[in-house]
Amino acid sequence: MIKILLFAELQEEAGTDQVEVDKAGVTVNEVKSWLQKQYNLTTLENTMIAINESYADENEVVKDGDVIAFIPPVSGG
C-alpha cells in the first residue's frame, strides 16, 4: 500500500487530500496516470513529485509503504 498526498488545486479537484492504494512496484508516472484517470485531474502535469519527503522523478519505482506527494506550482506575491 502506498499513500498519495495531494495539495492545493489537486486536493480540490480530487475532493480529498490523500489516497491510499495498492500500487507498489509501479513507476511514479504510472501512479500519476492512474490518478489522472481516477480523479480526472487536469493540473497534475506540472507538479513537483516527492517520495518520502525527497524530490523524485517520474521514472522512480514506488515501494510498499512509500508516501508520494504531488505538489503543484506555487505563486506568490
CA 52 to chain centre: 12
Domains of the chain: 2-71 (3.10.20.30)
- Greater model confidence, 75 or 70: 70
Q: Is the predicted pLDDT of residue 77 greater than 70, yes or no?
A: no
pLDDT digits (tens, 9 = 90+) for 41-51: 888 888 999 99
In 3-state terms, what secondary structure has residue 47? coil
> Would you state the pLDDT for residue 65?
97
pLDDT digits (tens, 9 = 90+) for 6-62: 999 999 999 999 999 999 999 999 999 999 999 998 888 889 999 999 999 999 999
Residue 31 neighbours by CB distance under 10 Å: 22
Residue 44 neighbours by CB distance under 10 Å: 20
> Would you state the pLDDT for residue 54?
97
| CB-count burial class (<10 Å; 0-12, 13-18, 19+) for 4 | buried
